[in-house]
A and B are shown apart, each in its own frame.
Chain A
Amino acid sequence: MSLRELKVCLLGETGVGKSSIVCRFVEDSFDPNINPTIGASFMTKTVQYQNELHKFLIWDTAGQERFRALAPMYYRGSAAAIIVYDITKEESFLTLKNWVKELRQHGPPNIVVAIAGNKCDLSDAREVLEKDAKDYADSIHAIFVETSAKNAININEIFTEISQKIPHLDTSDSGVRGLKLRREQSDLTRERTCC
């Protein structure tokens, strides 16, 4: 059985549940008091897909504004990006649209985009209609699911769908080997003049 490494990054506003989704996927656990991610957290999980093993190399990025400029470092060379919003916060859906734009402009050309409307267990406080999000996702040919990291709804599914949508092994192998995180011309990194 062949092993494929798939680099996936999670993007989205702070507090929407990116780390919780990863935590649920990788460790099948949920911590309601999870701390905000600092920088980015790297985790892996291997799952079987048809006759291949897919090893997901997951970059869970921090949503906080001060880490914004680092995002390209993580999404460059990614096979897929999961952009997460919180269905109870319309604001986070607007942020998601900005992420899509950014990926279109600066991301890898064939990147698979998946949109996750997280916290679907809190439908009482819903601010983003499922249909609106679905329509938007369709318009940009993105995968769309509503998820709940808390109740483990659609978490594995989103990764399976990514596996499905990733082009078959040939040209677009996006394994880690040979992948270069290039330097970003941003405020943060430009100052790297240490030593």
Chain B
Amino acid sequence: METTDSPVVTSLHQSDKNEMQSENNIDSITEVEDHMTLPRIERSKETKLLDTLTENNSNPRYLPVDIQKEEAVVFDVSETVKAPEDGGHEDSGEFVVAMLARGKLEEQDVCKRISPPILETSLEASTHWDEDVTAETWRQHRKHVFVLSEAGKPIYSRYGSEEALSSTMGVMMALVSFIQSGDNVIRSVYSDEHTVVFMQQGPLVLVSVSSTRQSEQQLRNELLYVYNQIVSMLTQASITRIFEHKKNYDLRRLLAGSEKILDGLLNLVDFDPSFLLSAVHCLPIASSFRDSLSQILQKAITPNLVFSILIAKNQLLTIAQEKMVIEDAKLDPSDLHLLLNLIGASSAFQAGEIWTPICLPSFNPDCYFYAYISYLDPPECTVCLLLLSTDNEAFYAVAECKRKIEEAMQAQNALTSIAKAQSYSVSQVGVSDLRHFMYKPFDVPDNHHQLTQFTSPEMEAPYDSEEEKMRLLDLYRDMHGRIHNTSRPLKLIYHVGLRETLLAWVTTKFELYTCFSPLVTKSCAINAITKLLRWVKKEEDRLFIRYPPKYSTTPNASKS
């Protein structure tokens, strides 16, 4: 048996080679079941040192107390568990539902994925479908994400092809169902190097294997995003129905061609703090300009139009919403994140006008909106208009709205002004030693129908390389994890490291993360924060959408 080094991944990998073993061997892990939940509780003890000055350690190690036991768990399981019979190669052709009627499997096409040009990162190339899953490099990825069906069939893997990982995923499913058979739920496994988080959503099981030291809650949140992105393409109701019909259906048939949307999402999750903060980032522009854009959207309406969203450089410019609809259900930032990711992850939207069904899972996981998506500035394609209607026949009417919007924007020369708009530099705040911050207010007016937003300057030197960016984000994630620790939430953390000093502060009015140079003193930092808050207050009309515009497109109040 191997020792401390990444027991989970190692063992999962070993199981790839293991021949399937007989089912009754599963019994041999019975006695360790209870340990599964232990280490997690222990973990929070480690975080007690928080507000004291800690050694700089961007990846503090939370060693679970009973590693020994844990390893026992993992190893017993992996070596005895039986992989699912079909090994992922079974053809699902017999499954006939009207919508799926014909066409053979599109699995071959899965192999034709192209990595998204925009989201490619230098830390890790974003698509690794042809990666050797037995290689050490595969195991060394910071964060793996797997999606599988209850039958253990692979649906998605962030790295490596799903086929090659079918037995690994079988083991994961076996873990889940074994714990389930004891009327229990497996939530996570901690090892020295990795955190493995399991999440079941209906017939899908999502697994994150991470060496990032993020909190379980954060990883769970990320898995939820992955699940929701899948729901946004298929709806929860149809996923449920499909698996009711046939338990071992190969969902990749329906997701073919969408893998890069999931790849893109996971890259965004790593690099965009919007996901961590569950808040939307607006492009800062003068409030008068934002208002005039909002008015343009408000005027270009047609029956059943519910959301008009203007996006530039992947950030929100403004969003106009249907009154009645938004009173019924609030638009969740996470739905907006999924939309932004969808648009950013595929260049398919750059050609012509797109009309596609899309589900907003937090809004309603079981139904589709129809999205009209078109760039307003081809061929640059930085300003994107997104119009959501509840009527699948509304394309021509909605396209007409776009024409109106285009004309009105041209009249005001808005595209030129948008092109000039950009994120700001932290130096504009005028606080020395302040390197970066993220500020999320809770006291926005009209809070009930307001999108949660946050503001943050560009990441500048020394955080201008991918590695350094990631390191700062990891520090933020760590602070965020401690602040939101469910068993011991904190309000204020002052963290002194070798390379920077961080201060995180949550009040009823805001959530704030700041990064200072390492030489700052505590009183200096507190002074700086006072200045920063004053600056944000002064600039808030420019930084945030203060009064989200509304319109009314449902003359008769009757809604299904």
- Report which A residues bind B (CB closer than 8 A): 13-15, 19, 22-23, 26, 33-43, 58, 60, 62, 64-70, 73, 91, 94-95, 98, 176, 180-184, 186-189, 191-195
Q: Quote the shortest CB–CB distance from B367 to chain A (angstroms).
A: 4
Interface contact A33-B395, CB-CB below 8 Å: no
Interface range on chain B: under 10, 10 to 19, 20 to 34, or 35 or more? Answer: 35 or more
Residues of chain A within 8 A (CB-CB) of B324 are 195
**B residues in contact with A58, CB < 8 Å:** 352
Could you give, for residues 207-235 of chain B, a 1 whenever the CB lies within 8 Å of some chain A CB and a 0 otherwise? 00000000000000000000000000111
B241 to A, closest residue via Cβ: A187
Q: Which of B256, B351, B353 has the most CB of A within 10 A?
A: B351
Q: Name 15 A/B residue pairs within 8 A (Cβ), A-sorted.
A: A34-B347, A38-B349, A39-B357, A65-B100, A66-B254, A73-B393, A95-B103, A95-B104, A98-B102, A181-B392, A187-B241, A194-B364, A194-B367, A195-B306, A195-B325
Nearest-neighbor residue (CB-CB) of B261 within chain A: A38
Q: Which residue of B lies closest to A185 (CB)?
A: B98
CB distance from A104 to the nearest CB of B (A): 14
CB pair B399–A42 under 8 Å, yes or no, is yes
Q: Are B393 and A182 in contact (CB under 8 A)?
A: yes
Kindly state whether residue B114 has any CB partner on chain A within 8 Å.
yes
Q: B97 near A: Cβ within 8 Å?
A: yes
Inter-chain contact A41/B353, CB cutoff 8 Å: yes
Q: How far is the CA of A22 from the CA of B348 in the complex (A)?
A: 13
Q: How far is the CA of A62 from the CA of B233 in the complex (A)?
A: 13
- B residues in contact (CB < 8 Å) with A: 97-104, 106, 109, 112, 114, 117, 233-235, 237-238, 241, 253-258, 260, 306, 322, 324-325, 328, 342, 346-349, 351-357, 363-364, 366-369, 371, 390, 392-393, 395-396, 399, 554, 559-560
Say whether B253 contacts A65, CB under 8 Å. Answer: yes
Considering the complex, give the chain B residue whose CB is closest to the CB of A91.
B104
Asked if B354 and A40 make an inter-chain contact with CB atoms under 8 angstroms apart, the answer reads yes
Interface residues of B, dominant DSSP: mixed
The listed residue (B325, B348, B353, B369) touching A36 by CB distance below 8 A is B348
CB of B355 within 8 A of CB of A42, answer yes
Chain B residues whose C-beta falls within 8 Å of the C-beta of A182 in the assembled complex: 393
- Does B399 contact A69, Cβ atoms closer than 8 Å? no
Contact A193 B393 (CB under 8 A): no
Bound Cα distance from A23 to B355, whole angstroms = 17
Q: B residues within 8 A CB of A60?
A: 351-352
In this complex, what residue of A is CB-closest to B101?
A: A68
Partner of A191, one of B112, B114, B306, B367: B367
Report Cα–Cα, A105/B112, bound state, in Å.
Answer: 33
Q: In the assembled complex, which residues on chain B have CB atoms less than 8 Å from the CB atom of A22? A: 351-352
Candidates A65, A183, A194; contact of B254 at CB < 8 Å: A65
State whether B351 touches A23 (Cβ < 8 A).
yes
